[in-house]
Amino acid sequence: MRRLACIACLLLGAAWFVQDARAATGVGPVAFDGIAWGTPLKVLEGSMAPAARQPESDTVRFFRRKDKEYRPAGLQPVPTVYAFYQGALCGVYTQPQTAETAESMLTSLRLEYGQGERWSRFGVSYAQWRLGRLVVTHKADRNTGKFRIGYVHLPSDVAVKDAESFIEMLDEPAAKRGYW
């Protein structure tokens, strides 16, 4: 029994080391809920439905999955919108419905990627992680009681130094539709 406990501790320590190493190298996940960043919309059309009735632009389009809901480990399903830039997956916006769910998701992000950059503005608290070409932002609005977590993966034709302007370009139509 003692030997089994020792092996379990070693495995747990190894898993923790891998998580710390991943956070330290700044490499984020290559996919969101099983869909690789950059996957063409054409490949996913059968499992996606438009997320908005408003006219979509040719550059950015929003969809929801028809085949399954995003369910973070141990939590209820979380409303999720997938953003396609020039026909390829580059963003995901999740909308935790309760403070407990949002806090649990924030804790998971911190365990996986470290504390991240934090700031507050006009009653809205933010935490952000830059993981190579992936930028993850947790947003908690005390004014409205709403929570959002955005994942934006920079397409290969966007330079990392231009990340802020790309994120703003993607977030603007998402905010207009209530996703961000």
Asked whether residue 42 is assigned to any structural domain, the reply reads: yes
DSSP label at residue 32: E
Q: Give percent of the chain with pLDDT exceeding 90.
A: 63
- What is the pLDDT, as a whole number, of residue 11? 38
pLDDT per residue as tens digits for the range 2-13: 443 333 333 344
Q: Are 115 and 136 a contacting pair, CB within 8 Å?
A: no
Does the pLDDT of residue 19 top 80, yes or no? Answer: no
Q: So what's the pLDDT on residue 177? A: 84
Q: Among residues of the chain, what percentage have pLDDT more than 70?
A: 82
Nearest to 96, CA basis, from 138, 47, 135: 138
Is residue 24 in a domain? no
Q: Average per-residue pLDDT in the chain?
A: 84
Give the C-alpha separation, 60 to 91, whole Å: 10
**What is the identity of the amino acid at 84?**
F
Q: Where are the alpha helices (DSSP H) in the chain?
A: 2-25, 41-44, 99-113, 163-176
5 within some domain: no
Task: Residue 65: give the domain boundaries.
Answer: 34-177
> Measured between alpha carbons, how far is 63 from 80 in angstroms, rounded to an integer?
9
User: Does residue 2 belong to any structural domain of this protein?
Assistant: no
Exposure string over 109-146, b if 16+ CB within 10 A, otherwise e: beebbeebeeeeeeeeebbbbbbebbbbbbbbeeeeee
Domain count, the chain: 1
Residue 166 lies in a domain: yes
The answer to whether position 44 is within a domain reads: yes
* Digit-coded pLDDT (tens) for 36-93: 999 999 999 899 999 876 666 678 999 999 988 999 988 899 999 999 999 999 999 9
- Classify residue 21: in a domain, yes or no: no
Tell the burial category of 91 from Cβ atoms under 10 Å away from its Cβ (0-12, 13-18, 19+).
buried
Rama region for 78: left / alpha / beta (φ>0; ψ in -120 to 50; rest): beta
Q: Decide if pLDDT at 161 tops 60.
A: yes
Q: Does pLDDT of 127 surpass 90?
A: yes
N residues, the chain: 180
The more confidently predicted of residues 157 and 89 is 89
Rounded distance, CA 109 to CA 28, Å?
Answer: 11
DSSP assignment letter at 45: G
Whether 20 maps to a domain, the answer reads no
Is the distance from CB of 42 to CB of 87 less than 8 angstroms? yes
